[in-house]
Amino acid sequence: MQEAKLKELLDSLTWTEKVGQLVQLSGDFFHSAELAVGPKKKLGITQETIDVVGSVLNVTGAETTRNIQEKYLKNSHHKIPLLFMADIIYGYRTIFPIPLGLGATWNPELIEEAYGVIARESRSAGAHVTYAPMVDLVRDARWGRCLESTGEDPQLNADFAKAMVLGLQQEQGEMFEGIASCVKHFAAYGAGEAGREYNTVDMSERRLRQDYLSGYKAAVDAGAKLVMTSFNTYDGMPATGNEFLLKEILRDEWGFDGVIISDYAAVQELIAHGVAKDEREATLLAMKATNDIDMKTGCYANELEPLVKAGAIDPELVDEAVWRVLKLKNDLGLFEDPYRGSTVEQEQRTLLTEENRSLARKVTQESLVLLQNKNDLLPLKPNEDKILLVGPYGDEQDLIGLWAVHGKSSDVVSIRAALEKELSKENVAFEKGCDLLADYQFLGEFGATKEQIHSLGMTAEEKEIALNKALAAGKKADIIIYAMGEHTMQSGEAGSRTDISLPTIQKEFMEQMITLGKKNILISISGRPLTLTKEVEQMDAIIQAWFPGTEGGNALVDILFGKVNPSGRLSMGFPENVGQLPMSYNEFKTGRPLNSSTHRGRFVTKYLDSPNAPLFPFGFGLSYGKVEYSELILSTKQMTDELTVSLRLKNISDYTCLETVQLYIQDVTGSVVRPVKELKKYQKVSLLPNEEKLVEFSLQRSDLYYYMKDMQFGTEAGEFIVFVGKNANDTQQAEFELM
Ligand code: BGC
C-alpha cells in the first residue's frame, strides 16, 4: 500500500481501533470464545478490544494462523490484518544448536545461512515476526538465559546479531523475503545482579555503551524491524519505562523508527517495580518512553484512551506508535496478502527438509567444542574399540533445549541412534546407568503436576540395577562415552542456578564408572558453561555439546570419529568455580594485577582459594590437528589510519583444520581505564594437511574507538598491544603506537 493511503487509513481509525493496534494478545483470545473468558477476565480485556487487536503472541502453524486471520478479517471494519509474532529463537521445526552453541561456531556467515532457513520455515508456518535475535551480553553463567545469547563478547555478539537479522529478514531493497526480526531484550538484561533472573542492572553508562549495547546496535543497524524491551531496571528505571534507553539512545541516537514492544507483561510490571502506582501510570510511563506495543496486559487497552482524553498523553504520541505498527504490516506486505503465502501445502514442503537438516548438521559440527583430549584419544576409529554409551542423554531425543518451542524432540537424532548407525552391533552398547536428576520437584514450578513429577526418576532399587548393569557392561568395553548434562528446564528463562556443576546423581555415577579404569569421554549437554573442574581430572576427553538440536547425534558422531575436525571455540569462558562469577576475559586493568611488579603475595587482585583464570578461557577449543603460528609482522610500528597484522599459519598435522585465529588489542594508557584485552578481529582459516597460509588482519583507526573520558566515541594517541592467538589466554603479542 502506498504511504499516503496508509496515512489515510491511520486517520480514519477511531481511538479504540488505534489503541487496538498497540495491544498484543495470546492465542487463547482467538481460539474460542469460551477459552477467552479466563484470560479476558484476568486482564480486563473486552471483546471490543479483541475485535480490533493488532497482533497475536506465539500462535503458529499455517492452518491455525490462516483460520484466525480469516475470521478476524471477516469482522474487521478496516481490514487491517493481524500480525503473528512468535518466539522462534534458534529454529522453527529444524532446530539448530542453542545460540550459545551458535556463538561457538565463530562463523557469522554460516549462522546467517541458518537464520535464512529459520525464516523460510517460520514464514511457511504463518509467522510474521520472530522475537529474535536475543543478543544480551552475558558474563555470568548462573543466569539461565546464557542459553539464548551468543556469549560474553561485544564484538562477537555484534557480528552474530547482524548475521541473524540479515538471515531472518532476507531483505532485498524494499522487498522482504524473510520474516521481521525483533531484537531483544533492550537493554543489558544479561547483567542482572548475581546472575539472578529478572534482577536489577546497575552499571555505568560507559560500560553499558562499551560492552552491553553493541549487539542491539548491530541488529538495529542491520535493519531489525522491532526491538523488545527487557524486564530489568537500568539506573533505577525499568527498561519499559526508561526514556534514556528507549528514547534517547534507541530512537534519537540510533535513529530507530521501527516498533518497540514490551516484554511479556512488562508494562504492568512497572507497578511491581514501584515506579507506577497503577495501570494508568504504568501506561503513561511506557508510552512516554515510546514503547509501542503492550504485550499481554490490559494496560494500553484500558488506560490509553482515558489518558489521551484527559490530556495526559499527546495524541501525536499515540498516532506515531500506531503508524509504526501499520508501517510494519505494510512492509511485510500484509495488506496485499495477509497470509504471506503461508498454506498448509507450502508449510509441508518447507519444514525439516533434507537440505535444512544438512545445514543444521554442519552448524552443529561447528558448534561442538573439544575441551579436552588427553593423549589424542579422539578421534576414534570405527569398530576398533568396544564402546559403551552411558548417561541420561545417551538415548534421549530431547536435545533441543528450552526455547525450541515449535520443534519436536521426535525429529531429533539421538546420540545412541547415530552411534548405532555408525558402528557394527557388537561394538556398541548402551546402558543409561543413572538418571538425569535425583529429584524433579523443581518441575512443579513449571507447571508439572505431582503425578508427573512422581513418575519421573528412578527408585532406589532401579538406581542400583541401572548402575550394576552399566558397571557390568563397562567391564566389557574399551571406551565409555558419558552423555551427561543439565535438565532442559535448568537453563533458559527463569533458570538461574548457584550450583552449575553436573547434577550430583550423575557425578556419583561417573565416580563409580571410572573405577573400571577404561578410557572415558564426556559429552556435556548444557545451556550454560558448567563448572567441569572434577570432570577435567576424570575424563580423557570432553566435548561441550550445548543443546545440539535436531542433528545433534549425527554431528557428535561426525566429531567423535573424525569425519569432521572440531573447530568450535567458546564464546563464553567456563569458570573454575561459581565463586569467580561474573567474569570475562575482557576485564579492566587494576592497580595490583596478579603478576604485579610492585605488589606480591597477598596484596594483588586474586582469590585466596581459587585461581583468577577460568577453567577454559574465552575463545578456547581444541582440534585434532596442530597449527603453528609464525611471529607477528606489523606493517608499521606507528599507526595513523590503518595497520596490517600478518602471520603465517602452518598445519603440521594430517587433519584438515578449521583454525580460528583471534586478534585482541590492549590500549595501554587511556583517559579512562581500559580492558586488559578486547577481541577485535577473527578469521576461520581452513588448512589442508601440511598446508601453510598467510593470514592478514587489517586494523582501522575506528577499531580502536571507545567511550573516552568525555563519553565521546573515539581514540587517543599512545601505545597499544596487539595479541594474536588461539584463545584469549594463548596469544603472542606485538606493540605499536597510535599517532
Ligand atoms: C521472554 C521473551 C519472550 C516473551 C514472549 C518473555 O517471558 O522474556 O524473551 O519473547 O516472553 O514469549
Are residue 178 and residue 245 in the same domain, yes or no?
A: yes
Confidence band (pLDDT; 50, 70, 90) for 445? confident
How sure is the predictor about 224, in pLDDT bands with cuts at 50, 70 and 90? Answer: very high
The four Cα atoms 699, 700, 702, 707 give a dihedral, to 10 degrees, of 40
For residue 608, is it within any domain?
A: no
- Does residue 353 lie in a domain region? no
120 lines ligand 1 (CB under 6 A): no
Q: Which of 148, 154, 174, 178 is nearest to 166 (CA)?
A: 178
Distance of CA 512 to the CA centre of its chain: 35
Shared-domain flag, residues 471 and 434: yes
Query: How do residues 4-52 score in pLDDT, each as one tens digit?
Result: 999 999 999 999 999 999 999 998 888 765 555 566 777 888 888 999 9
Stated length of the chain: 739
Q: Where is pLDDT greater, at 554 or 45?
A: 554
Residues 570 and 502 in one domain: yes
Same domain, 567 and 648: no
Lowest average pLDDT, out of 363-372, 423-432, 444-453, 603-612, goes to 444-453
Mean pLDDT value across the chain: 96
How far is Cα 511 from Cα 531, in angstroms, rounded to an integer?
Answer: 16
Distance of CA 386 to the CA centre of its chain: 37
* Per-residue confidence (pLDDT) for residue 33, from 0 to 100: 56
Cell numbers found for residue 424? 557394527
The region that residue 352 occupies, defined by phi over 0 for left and psi between -120 and 50 for alpha, beta otherwise, is left
Question: Using alpha carbons only, what angle is made at residue 650 by residues 645 and 654, rounded to the nearest 5 degrees?
Answer: 155
Strands 638-639 and 541-544: unpaired
Q: Please give the pLDDT value at position 531.
A: 98
Residues paired with 651 in a beta bridge: 627
Point out the domain boundary residue: 542, 558, 576: 576
DSSP state of 458: -
Q: Which residue carries 481460539 as its cell? A: 31
* In the block, residue with C-alpha cell 484500558: 302
pLDDT exceeds cutoff 90 at 357: yes
Cα 327 to middle of ligand 1, angstroms: 23
Ligand 1 centroid vs 57 CA: distance in angstroms?
10
Q: Do 312 and 415 belong to one domain?
A: no
CA of 659 to the centre of ligand 1 (A): 36
Q: Which of 162-176, 249-263, 444-458 has the highest mean pLDDT?
A: 249-263
Q: What is the CATH number of the domain that holds 570?
A: 3.40.50.1700
Q: What is the DSSP string of 128-191?
A: -EE---B------TTSGGGGGS--S-HHHHHHHHHHHHHHHH-EETTEE-S-EEEEEEETTGGG
Ligand 1 contact, 264 CB (< 6 A)? yes
Distance, CA 133 to ligand 1 centroid (Å)? 12
Last residue of one domain, picked from the residues 347, 371, 395? 347
Q: 296: Cβ below 6 Å to ligand 1? A: no
Is pLDDT at 61 greater than 80 in this prediction?
yes
Find the 230 Cα to ligand 1 centroid distance in Å: 9
Phi, psi of 390 (to 5 degrees): -130, 170
Residue 489 lies in a domain: yes
Count how many domains the chain has: 3
3-class state of residue 479 by DSSP: strand
Helix (H) or strand (E) holding 286: helix 279-288
DSSP line for 535-576: HHHH-SEEEE--S--TTHHHHHHHHHTTSS------SSPBPS
| Ligand 1: nearest atom to the Cα of 231 | 8
User: Could you tell me the pLDDT band of residue 171, with boundaries at 50, 70 and 90?
Assistant: confident
Residue-wise pLDDT for 332-354, tens only, equals 999 999 999 999 999 999 999 99
The 8-class DSSP code of residue 409 comes to G
Beta carbon of 131 within 6 Å of any ligand 1 atom: yes
Residues 416 and 429: their CA atoms lie apart, in Å, by 9
The per-residue pLDDT for 42 is 77
Report the pLDDT value the prediction gives residue 28, as an integer from 0 to 100: 86
Are both 399 and 368 inside the same structural domain? Answer: yes
> Does the Cβ of 571 fall within 6 Å of ligand 1?
no
Same domain, 274 and 384: no
Residue 550 domain boundaries = 361-576
Q: Whose CA is nearest to atom 2 of ligand 1?
A: 263
Residues 565 and 493 in one domain: yes
Q: Using CA positions, which residue lies closest to atom 8 of ligand 1?
A: 263
Task: DSSP letter for 78, please.
Answer: S
Q: Which long-range contacts (CB under 8 A, 24 or more apart) does 395-398 make?
A: 395/430, 395/432, 396/483, 398/488
Side by side, which strands form the sheet with 369-373? 369-373, 541-544, 519-525, 479-485, 387-390, 428-431
Rounded Cα distance between 100 and 146, Å, is 7
**Res 220: pLDDT:** 98
Model pLDDT, residue 727? 98
**CB 136 near ligand 1, within 6 Å:** no
In this prediction, residue 618 carries a pLDDT of 98
Distances from the Cα of 9 to the Cα of 2, 83, 327, 409, angstroms = 11, 17, 11, 45
Looking at per-residue confidence, does 29 or 217 come out higher? 217
Choosing from 512, 543, 576, the residue where a domain stops is 576
Asked whether the beta carbons of 729 and 664 are under 8 A apart, the reply is no
pLDDT at 622: 98
How would DSSP label each residue in 178-204?
A: S-EEEEEEETTGGG-GGG-TT--B---
H-helix or E-strand spanning residue 520? strand 519-525
CA distance 248 to 560: 51
Q: Is residue 369 part of a domain?
A: yes
Is 718's pLDDT higher than 80? Answer: yes
Q: Is residue 240 in contact with ligand 1, taking CB distance under 6 Å? A: no
- How high is the pLDDT of residue 38? 62
The model's pLDDT over 238-288, given as tens digits with 9 standing for 90+, comes to: 999 999 999 999 999 999 999 999 999 999 999 999 999 999 999 999 999
Intra-chain end-to-end CA distance of the chain, in Å: 53
Cell numbers that stand for 278 in this block: 497503577
Atom 12 of ligand 1, nearest CA residue: 87
CB atoms within 10 A of CB 686: 13
All cell numbers assigned to 581: 562469577
274/288 Cα distance (integer angstroms)? 17
Is position 106 within any domain? yes
Q: Is 263 a catalytic site residue?
A: yes
For residue 186 and ligand 1, the question of a CB distance below 6 A is answered with: no
Q: Is the CB of 28 under 6 A from ligand 1?
A: no
Grid cell locating 347: 508449510
Secondary structure, 3-state, 339-397: CCCCCHHHHHHHCCCHHHHHHHHHHHHHHCEEEEEHHHCCCCCCCCCCEEEECCCCCCC
197 C-beta closer than 6 A to ligand 1: no
Residue the block writes with cell 595501554 = 668
Residue owning the nearest CA to atom 11 of ligand 1 = 264
Banded model confidence at residue 719, pLDDT cuts 50, 70, 90? very high
58 lines ligand 1 (CB under 6 A): yes
3-class SS of residue 668: coil
Query: Which CATH number characterizes residue 636's domain?
Result: 2.60.40.10
Q: Which of 60, 199, 263 to mutate to test the pocket of ligand 1 (most atoms within 8 A of CB)?
A: 263
User: What percentage of residues in the chain have a pLDDT greater than 90?
Assistant: 92
Q: Pairing state of beta strands 657-667 and 678-687?
A: antiparallel
The string over 612-626, giving b where at least 16 C-beta atoms fall within 10 Å of a residue's C-beta and e elsewhere, is ebbbbbbbbbbbbbe
594 occurs within a structural domain: no
Mean pLDDT over 496-515 rounds to 98
Distance of CA 513 to the CA centre of its chain: 34
What the block records as the C-alpha cell of 202 is 546497575
C-alpha R_g of the chain: 27
Task: State how far the Cα of 12 lies from the Cα of 677, in Å rounded to an integer.
Answer: 56
CB neighbour list of residue 175: distance below 8 Å, 6 or more residues apart: none
Domain co-membership, 332 together with 365? no
State the closest ligand 1 atom to the C-alpha of 228, by its place in the atom list counted from 1: 10
Spatial contact of 68 and 81, defined as CB atoms under 8 Å apart:
no
Phi, psi values for residue 62, rounded to 5°: -55, -45
- What nine digits make up the cell of 611? 585461581
Q: State how far the Cα of 296 lies from the Cα of 29, in Å rounded to an integer.
A: 11
269 ligand 1 Cβ < 6 A: no
Catalytic hit among 87, 136, 140, 263: 263
Q: How far apart are CA 260 and CA 283, in angstroms?
A: 14
Closest residue CA from atom 6 of ligand 1: 264
Identify the helix (H) or strand (E) that includes residue 323.
helix 315-331
Separation of CA 331 and ligand 1 centre (Å): 24
Does residue 134 form part of some domain? Answer: yes
Q: Which atom of ligand 1 is nearest to the CA of 131?
A: 10
What is the rounded distance in angstroms from the CA atom of residue 645 to the CA atom of residue 667? 16
Reading the block at residue 584, the C-alpha cell is 570475562
Name the residue among 87, 107, 89 with its Cα closest to residue 97.
89
What is the pLDDT, as a whole number, of residue 174? 66
DSSP lists the bridge partners of residue 544 as 369, 524
Instruction: Assess if residue 58 is contained within a domain.
Output: yes
For ligand 1, atom 7: residue with the closest CA: 264
Closest CA to 595 of 581, 613, 580, 609: 613
d(CA 573, CA 105): 14
In a shared domain, residues 414 and 554: yes
Average of per-residue pLDDT across 603-619: 97
Find out whether the beta carbon of 229 lies less than 6 Å from any atom of ligand 1: no
546 has pLDDT over 60: yes
Ligand 1 atom closest to 58 (CA): 12
Q: How far is the CA of 264 from the centre of ligand 1 (A)?
A: 6
pLDDT at 442: 86
Q: What is the pLDDT of residues 388-438, one digit of tens each?
A: 999 999 999 999 999 999 999 999 999 999 999 999 999 999 999 999 999
263 CA distance to ligand 1 middle (Å): 6
Residue 199 has pLDDT above 90, yes or no: yes
Q: Answer yes or no: do 164 and 79 share one domain.
A: yes
pTM exceeds 0.85, yes or no: yes
Interval between CA 671 and ligand 1 midpoint (Å): 40
Whether residue 241 sits in one domain with residue 96: yes
**Choice among 441-445, 490-494, 558-562, 587-591 with the minimum mean pLDDT:** 441-445
Residue 44 phi, psi dihedral angles, 5° rounding: 65, 35
Q: How far apart (Å, rounded) are the C-alpha atoms in residues 155 and 215?
A: 8
pLDDT, tens digit (0-9, with 9 covering 90-100), for 664-683: 999 999 999 999 999 999 99
